[in-house]
Structure 1
C-alpha cells in the first residue's frame, strides 16, 4: 500500500485535530462561554421563566450538556404544566432521575430555617404563588452543623450568605457546591405554593 503524499497526510491530521478540538470545546466551559450560552436561552425551548442571577452558570452549562435529556424533561414540565392548578404532592417526571414535589404551606421564620446542600440531586426551586426569601452561599465557606446524610441526601451548615426574594417568574438552581436556605417568610405572605424539581447530579469526572 502506497503511503499518502505529505500534503494529504497533513490535511487529514488537520481535519482530525479540528474535530478533537471542537469536541473538547463542547465539554470545556468558562464563566464567559457559560454566561453566553445561558443568555442565548436556547435551553429554555419556550419556557417563559427567568433564571435567577445567583445561579452558577458554568456548573449549569456543564450539567445540562452532560444530561440534556433530563434537563429538557424538567423544563418541559415547568413549561407545559398549569402549576397553579397542580395539587401538592410528588410528581414523577423521569423515574428517579427527575421528579418534582409541590408544597403549599406557610414559610418559616428566619430562626426556623436552615442552610442545606445535596450531593445526589440538583434543586430547581420555583415559587408558584406568594413570596419567600432564599439564602445562597458557597459550601466551601460553610461550617458543617449536621454531616451529610445519604438517605436524606442533605447536610446542614452555618454560613454567611446572600439573600434573595423568590417570587413567580424566576426560578433558582442549587448545585452540590451551593448551600441554600429556603422557605424564609416574607412579610405579608403567609402561604406559599412552591415546586422543587430534583434533577440527578452527573459526575463530570465519569466517562
Structure 2
C-alpha cells in the first residue's frame, strides 16, 4: 500500500505504467467538470470511476481485495478513513468474485486518514476498507482508478 499527497506523485510513477498514467490523469484533469461515473482511459486496462457519496460508519463493514486490478484512490473533496491490512493467506469471508474482481474479509486492520489531495494505492495483497467516516458521515468526492495488473 502507498499513501501520499498528489504533490509527491513523481515518486511512484516507476512502480507500474498504469499507476503512472493514473497519477498523470489526476494531475491533468479538472475533476470539477468531469461527470460522475466510469471513464475509460485505456479501455478495461485503465479506467476511473468518479463518485460522490457519504462515508460509512465502521460497524458491519468488511475489507476487500482484488486480483485483477490495482486500486488508485484519490480524494478530490472531503476526508475519509480507510481500514488496511496485508493479505497473509487469510481465508476470505466472501469468496473471490471473478466477474467483479473482489473478495471480502473480516480481519483486524489499521486505520489511515485520507484527505483531499491525497491518494492511496492498493495492490492485490493490500486488504482495504474505503469510504469510512471520520466521525459523522460526510460527503466525499473520490476518483477510483482501476489499473489492470496484466
TM over 0.5: yes
The offset of 1:73, in angstroms, is 2.2
TM-score between both structures, scaled by the size of structure 2: 0.86
Give runs of aligned pairs for residues 45-194 of structure 1, distance below 5 A. 48-50=6-8, 63-64=15-16, 68=17, 70-140=18-88, 142-188=90-136, 190-194=138-142
Larger radius of gyration: 1
Shift of the 48–164 alpha-carbon distance from structure 1 to 2, 3 Å rule, reads closer
- Between Structure 1 and Structure 2, the one with more helix by share is 1
Which structure 2 segments of 5+ residues have no match?
Answer: none
Alignment partner of 1:119: what SS? coil
CA deviation digits over 1:167-206, x for unaligned, max 9? 112210000001001111112552110110000113xxxx
Counterpart Cα distance in 2 of 1:153 and 1:77: 23
Larger RCO, structures 1/2 (Cα 8 Å, 6+ apart): 2
Q: Distance in 2 between matches of 1:154 and 1:178?
A: 12
**How many residues are treated as equivalent by the alignment?**
145
Q: Contact 1:127 / 1:166 at 8 angstroms: preserved in 2?
A: yes
- What's the RMSD between the two structures over aligned residues? 2.3
Structure 1, unpaired ranges of 5+: 1-37, 39-46, 52-56, 203-207
